[in-house]
Amino acid sequence: GQNIDQPTEMTATEGAIVQINCTYQTSGFNGLFWYQQHAGEAPTFLSYNVLDGLEEKGRFSSFLSRSKGYSYLLLKELQMKDSASYLCAAMDSNYQLIWGAGTKLIIKP
């Protein structure tokens, strides 16, 4: 079957760095997406990886290892506004997104 695993909840301190891991098993693979979702709001796109390696975009970076079925989202210089859920989603061979349950990130002052 197809499956996405990511931690349910993480806590970090303002100004610090946090890494949110995601492992996936899909029928075929056409890319890995990360979205941010604040409580009660729509998910917003953060990053997309289809090749192995690190993609950096400001304070956020995303890494992919296709051979390991593994990705992580790295958030630097954490701010209180980064408190949100982070959703990992893998696109399968039919171009359908398989979604993880999300990681709730709590930022403490």
Binding site for another protein (CB under 8 A): 4, 8, 30-31, 33, 40-45, 48, 87, 89, 91, 95-102
Is residue 64 within 8 Å of 53, Cβ to Cβ?
yes
CB of 95 to another protein, least distance (A): 3
Is 25 or 30 the residue whose CB approaches another protein more closely?
Answer: 30
CB of 34 to another protein, least distance (A): 10
- Cα(11)–Cα(68) distance, integer angstroms: 26
CB atoms within 10 A of CB 4: 22
